[in-house]
Structures are given as structure tokens and as C-alpha cells.
Amino acid sequence: MVNREVREFVNREVREFAWSGKKAEGRLKQLEEERLQLDRELNAARDKITISERSKEVLEARLRVMEPQVREPDRVRRALSFMPSTKERPASLQTRYNSLRRTSDDK
């Protein structure tokens, strides 16, 4: 009787261990698939970064080539900044008005 109980107990434990082993194998397989998927995503992200960096370098090179063309309007704009602004015009208009008034007074 004891042998039978021991045998049943051992059989139950073996079945439970086998079940948990299969469960562990399934989980291990699932984790391995997830790892492979993450590796693929990581490689795709690295490729995307590499392509972006190359595109950036090409764009920067193009901008360096175009730079002399872009700089000319900056110089014109800077030269225009030395011209009197509209805020200063009323004083010059007043001077012009005074000179015109003098000529009309002289008549």
C-alpha cells in the first residue's frame, strides 16, 4: 500500500515537473522569438539612423556649395541697415519744408 502511494506521488510529481518543463520550454521559445523581433527592430533603427546621417551630410555639403550665393543678400541687407530709418525722416522733411518756405518767402 505504501509503495502504491509512493508510486502515485512520484508519478504526480513527474507529471507536474514535465508539465512545468514544457511550460518553461514554451516560455523560453516565446522569449527567444521576442528577442529576435527586437534585434530586427534595432537593426532597422540603426539603418534608419545611418541613412539619416548620410542625408544630413549630403544636405550640409549642398548648403556649403550654395553658401556664397546666400551670403550676397545678407551683405545687401547689412548695407541697407546703415541707411536712415523712417523714424529719422520727419526731421529731414522739416528741413526740406523750411528750405521750401524760405524760397517762397523770398518771392
Longest dimension (CA), the chain: 146
**Cα Rg of the chain, angstroms:** 44
What mean pLDDT is reported for the chain?
Answer: 76
Q: What is the pLDDT of residue 36?
A: 94
Question: Rounded to two decimals, what is the model's pTM?
Answer: 0.45
Q: pLDDT higher for 36 or 27?
A: 36
SS3 68: helix
d(CA 2, CA 20): 27
Estimate the share of the chain in helix, then strand, then coil, as percent rounded to the nearest 5.
Answer: 95, 0, 5
* Structure letter (DSSP) for residue 82: T
